[in-house]
Structure 1
């Protein structure tokens, strides 16, 4: 997909933020109420203000980190890749902007949703970022792509300043409720951003953690 699509994506995601905050969808407004001008109860004004924050945040993060390329697997399907995938050095990225955990969690939910992953809950528990999503995949390749999307967006929010030791993920099968657990250590994400690990290295480490309940 062309980089010309990125501005459109940024605008659409900002509009989604306006709607989500205005309607206080899943208490998004409450979680962003620490931002100046954003009322915890939602409303149109709070939505537009949050949309402006989102426009700035996603313009920086997406333009610096998102590439629409085939994932590390061999199936050739299109999937999200996190920051650093363009081979740029760490000192070439923007490090001056700090974002709250609430902003980064909303970013995570919105981007993963855009890429077709139905995240049902996110929360910080002590030093761990805990995620649950509805798994609708039918093949191993589809599951790997879904895992890759979540890894990529997690790398984005680690780069954005999320203070977490790791991301613990629970995939709940949409048909039978069976649960699959896996995790990503933040040190793997940081090593990837520093070009110390490749995409395949990260995938291998993450897939080694997969357990079915």
Structure 2
């Protein structure tokens, strides 16, 4: 089963993530969120909260593992960092082939604090009305 954009945005917001945009496709999910801690690095707690929401959805059968690409904004149009989770990492964690610590280390290794990509503009599909 696959969750749709509005349900995913709602789920993330229910977990305390300030979602600016969500896009779901067959091979990836793109999430843009505004951080509550606009420093030089993304907050690991927020990253963990977002990852945990996806892990819970995988365990509940609501989300089929695929790549999740996250963009953390300090403010609208000010990208703090980008990071990602590979779908295989969700599967490996769910099947106990990697530990939570290994999963977290992989996610932290994916962080780019000087991203060369433009963040999606707020107001796209899945954005608050």
How high is the TM-score relative to the length of structure 2?
0.73
Q: Which has the higher contact order (CA 8 A, sep 6+)?
A: 2
Match among 36, 39, 43 for residue 136 of structure 1:
36
**Alignment gaps of 5+ in structure 2:** 116-129
Tell whether the 8 Å contact from 1:122 to 1:129 is kept in structure 2 after alignment.
Answer: yes
135 and 190 in structure 1: CA distance in 2 versus 1, 3 angstrom threshold:
same
The structure carrying a bigger helix percent of its residues is: 1
Q: 1:112 Cα shift?
A: 2.2
Q: 1:106 Cα shift?
A: 3.8
The structure carrying a bigger strand percent of its residues is: 2
In the other structure, the counterpart of 1:115 is: 15
How high is the TM-score relative to the length of structure 1?
0.46
Match among 72, 81, 100 for residue 199 of structure 1:
100
In the other structure, the counterpart of 2:55 is: 155
Tell whether the 8 Å contact from 1:183 to 1:210 is kept in structure 2 after alignment.
Answer: yes
Aligned residues: 113
Give the number of the structure whose alpha-carbon radius of gyration is greater: 1
Cα distance in 2 between the residues matched to 1:152 and 1:208: 17
Give the SS at the match of 2:71: strand
